[in-house]
Amino acid sequence: MASVPSVALPEGTSAGAGTRRYELQPATAWQKPTEPFTARKVYAAAHVIPTATGDNTPGAPAELDWERTLAFRHELWSYGLGVADAMDTAQRGMGLDWAATQELIRRVGAEAAAVAQATTGATAGLTVRDLVACGAGTDQLDLASVPSGAAGVRQALEAYREQIAVVEAAGPKVILMASRALAKAATGPADYLGVYSTLLSEVRQPVVLHWLGEMFDPALAGYWGSAGVAGATETFLELIRAHAGRVDGVKVSLLDAAHEVSLRAALPEGVRLYTGDDFNYPELIDGDGERHSDALLGIFAAIYPAASAALQAYEAGDAVVARKVLDSTRELGLHIFGAPTSYYKTGIAFLSWLNGHQPGFQMVGGLHSGRSVPHLVRVFELADQTGLLLDPGLAARRLAAFLEVNGVAQ
């Protein structure tokens, strides 16, 4: 009989606290879908994988392992999920520079075009825009040099135009990301309405509007020109109602389920709400009996086999099973996205490494140091308990090696 994989986990955070032996559960046999999903529209926001021996230090240009970065996107597609790329999860504004971002957008667009040729399986009949949506923002600007007022607003508009052109040329759906530059320059709601209205009048096809809360990025405080969420929501809805035909959907990342439900009910017909709530996604995707949210989630990059299983249950008309599967992943999501929330990417990359998707636990910009050893050990435990360690033996060996070099004897 094969031995059960196990690892010595630290008992606490104090020196000399000792260890406890942890045995992993058997691998879960997750199933891949045999046809595209129709009950929910879902994108998993994917991270990027750097060259393991590259200069992955703060401020250094990103050096990506393109083969493994793109292979992870194929893995998500094979489970029936769309990919949201060049977004916050891919370390936009936290290590992924604009040069690498452009290359990522072009490469993933080309990969998606090849996948879109499939005539059978989870991606049969899907378009490039179904398969991938990419973020267009203003992060090529030096934020320190962006002036407040009209001149800065014009700079933000032109930066958006440059990035939209790159995404449109590559083929993915455009996601208009929240802009630090616009947040700095704008003097009120009119500036936001002016920039976004101009962009929406110019895009070739409908886009996704992304409202990213300040818990993800403190530089976005007061977005839409209002200090409070209620005032910001009024501006947001004014924009959407004026350009509903140019808005595929909205991604809301405020971690406020009640606000999302209210906003969802107020959206014009045909405009999707892609939940970005990595805390409350089970009930938001499940819906209230009248409406449900679709999803564009960073946590889905960590839980993609379970997310796919839930979506397969929705396709089969079994909402009870679907909700149960999503609920089983909630504690892991709460932990990975715990404060400071902007460092959630570290947990996603760590789980990717444990599952063999990358050779080393490295992130661009040195962000692999963004979470503590105890935090990452808890990621490991929760992933195991949810069946999301795809090869328990590999995961145990990798965690043991990680702990050994971090001073936890095995």
| Range 221-242 average pLDDT | 97
**% of the chain at pLDDT higher than 70:** 99
The count of domains in the chain is: 1
On whether residue 363 sits in a domain, the answer given is no
Question: Is the distance from CB of 229 to CB of 254 less than 8 angstroms?
Answer: yes
Question: Is the distance from CB of 362 to CB of 350 less than 8 angstroms?
Answer: no
pLDDT tens string 111-161: 999 999 999 999 999 999 999 999 999 999 999 999 999 999 999 999 999
pLDDT score recorded for residue 21: 96
| Range 215-231 average pLDDT | 95
User: Is it the case that residue 15 has pLDDT exceeding 70?
Assistant: no
CATH code of the domain containing 84: 3.20.20.70
Residues with Cβ within 8 Å of 133's Cβ and at least 6 positions away in sequence, in order, are 43, 82, 83, 84, 85, 172, 173, 174, 175, 208, 296
Per-residue pLDDT band at 2 (split at 50, 70, 90): low
DSSP states of 29-51: -----SS---S--EEEE----B-
Alpha-carbon torsion (82, 84, 86, 89), positive or negative: negative
pLDDT tens string 70-124: 999 999 999 999 999 999 999 999 999 999 999 999 999 999 999 999 999 999 9
User: Is it the case that residue 44 has pLDDT exceeding 90?
Assistant: yes
On whether residue 24 sits in a domain, the answer given is no
Q: Cα(121)–Cα(153) distance, rounded to whole angstroms? A: 45
pTM more than 0.75: yes
Boundaries of domain holding 278: 35-337
pLDDT tens string 170-217: 999 999 999 999 999 999 999 999 999 999 999 999 999 999 999 999
Per-residue pLDDT band at 12 (split at 50, 70, 90): confident
On whether residue 62 sits in a domain, the answer given is yes
Lowest mean pLDDT among 1-15, 68-82, 126-140, 290-304: 1-15
pLDDT score recorded for residue 35: 97
Q: Cα(81)–Cα(185) distance, rounded to whole angstroms? A: 36
Alpha-carbon torsion (42, 304, 67, 376), positive or negative: positive
| Range 228-236 average pLDDT | 97
Distance from chain centroid for Cα 123: 20
User: Is it the case that residue 1 has pLDDT exceeding 70?
Assistant: no
pLDDT tens string 353-400: 999 999 999 999 999 999 999 999 999 999 999 999 999 999 999 999
On whether residue 273 sits in a domain, the answer given is yes
On whether residue 183 sits in a domain, the answer given is yes
On whether residue 343 sits in a domain, the answer given is no
pLDDT score recorded for residue 14: 67
- Average pLDDT over the chain reads 96
Q: Cα(106)–Cα(291) distance, rounded to whole angstroms? A: 35
DSSP states of 149-183: SHHHHHHHHHHHHHHHHHHHHH-SEEEE---HHHH
Question: Is the distance from CB of 150 to CB of 188 less than 8 angstroms?
Answer: no
User: Is it the case that residue 407 has pLDDT exceeding 80?
Assistant: yes
On whether residue 204 sits in a domain, the answer given is yes
On whether residue 379 sits in a domain, the answer given is no
| Range 26-42 average pLDDT | 97
User: Is it the case that residue 26 has pLDDT exceeding 80?
Assistant: yes
